[in-house]
Amino acid sequence: MNKVVVFGGTGFLGRRIVRHLLDHGYAVRAASRHPERGSGLFSADPRLDLVRADIGEDASTREAVQGAVAAVNAVSLYVERGSRTFHSVHVEAAQRLARHARAAGVARLVHVSGIGADSDSPSPYICSRGQGEHVVRAAFPEATIIRPAVMFGPDDAFLTPLAGLLRRFPVFALFGSGGTRLQPAHVDDVGEAITRIIGAPQAQALYEFAGPRIYTYKELLETIGRHLGVRRVLVPVPFAIWQAVAGVAELLPRPPITRNQVALMRIDNLAAPRQPGFDTLGIQPRGLETARAAR
């Protein structure tokens, strides 16, 4: 049976990729530093192996890719802690997986990056994403790069916290004037798209996945507010103030905002119009209103 190894297989996107792969009949090796978390995420399935593997280590990465026909790197980092830096995870670890996958004879490698990845960016997070794409290409030239827009779905780290805050506070702070444009994609649509790429006879070198509608940040908050049945006063807050607040927040164990999230909110998060995306794979992405109404 064709086996696919998913690094970060218990994460927000990774576990969706695992489920869609199983639905399509693949055997899956979900590789994670904390595989025990998978016991509460997946139903018992003889085709699923939960294995302990750290993409930051050569030995466990090498072992995890053995016998796999395809590999997916769905590992990401949003807050640096000690030796786990953006460069170590998005660049060094990505290169490590690409190198070992190629040596093991893996036929297809899918590397998850993000819309806006730019190796020339002054933001360490955005820069590391761009550098990661370059080193993966150098180590595994046939790799497919995936750039999702900001993703939403149950337990997401973006819209769910926003909804919680809008429920609690009558006044809500905008990033700048609230004019940054976003094109949210449902995490399950991205998981299905990656599964189809793995099964395709040929794949594009790069895909960008985004939802069917573009919002300004202010419009997005208003849309969530309507869904919740609340109206809030939205107050513009300069990015410089957000940057200072985020710097303090990062001292917390689970920071509600990081400086890199602030940096991402300075730039539009939109798929390039001519870039292969959901439509290339025959997927009609669900919109934010439709998905939330169905929950």
For residue 279, tell me if it sits in a domain. Answer: yes
What's the whole-number average pLDDT of the chain? 93
Question: Which pLDDT score, from 0 to 100, does residue 293 have?
Answer: 41
Q: Is the pLDDT of residue 1 over 70?
A: no
CATH of the domain at 140: 3.40.50.720
DSSP-derived 3-state class of residue 7 = strand
Give the residue-averaged pLDDT of 150-174. Answer: 91
Q: Identify the band that residue 73 occupies on the pLDDT scale cut at 50, 70 and 90.
A: very high
For residue 226, tell me if it sits in a domain. Answer: no
Q: Identify the band that residue 65 occupies on the pLDDT scale cut at 50, 70 and 90.
A: very high
Q: What is the pLDDT of residues 168-208, one digit of tens each?
A: 999 999 999 999 999 999 999 999 999 999 999 999 999 99
Give the residue-averaged pLDDT of 138-159. Answer: 94
Query: Of 51, 129, 139, 148, which Cα lies nearest the Cα of 86?
Result: 129
Give the residue-averaged pLDDT of 84-99. Answer: 97
DSSP 237-283: E-HHHHHHHHHHHTTSSS-S--HHHHHHTTS-B---TTS--GGGGT-
How many C-beta atoms surround the C-beta of residue 58 within 10 A?
12
Q: Identify the band that residue 37 occupies on the pLDDT scale cut at 50, 70 and 90.
A: confident
For residue 179, tell me if it sits in a domain. Answer: no
Q: Which residues contact 105 (CB under 8 A, 6 or more apart)?
A: none
Question: Which pLDDT score, from 0 to 100, does residue 292 have?
Answer: 53
How many C-beta atoms surround the C-beta of residue 201 within 10 A?
4
For residue 109, tell me if it sits in a domain. Answer: yes
Q: What is the pLDDT of residues 99-115, one digit of tens each?
A: 999 999 999 999 999 99
**How many separate domains does the chain show?**
1
Question: 91 or 293: which carries more pLDDT confidence?
Answer: 91
For residue 217, tell me if it sits in a domain. Answer: no
Residue 102 region by backbone torsions, left for phi larger than 0, else alpha for psi between -120 and 50, else beta: alpha
Q: What is the pLDDT of residues 2-20, one digit of tens each?
A: 999 999 999 999 999 999 9
Question: Which pLDDT score, from 0 to 100, does residue 295 have?
Answer: 38
DSSP-derived 3-state class of residue 31 = strand
Range of the domain at 89: 3-152+184-210+270-285
Question: Which pLDDT score, from 0 to 100, does residue 294 have?
Answer: 38
pTM of the model: 0.93
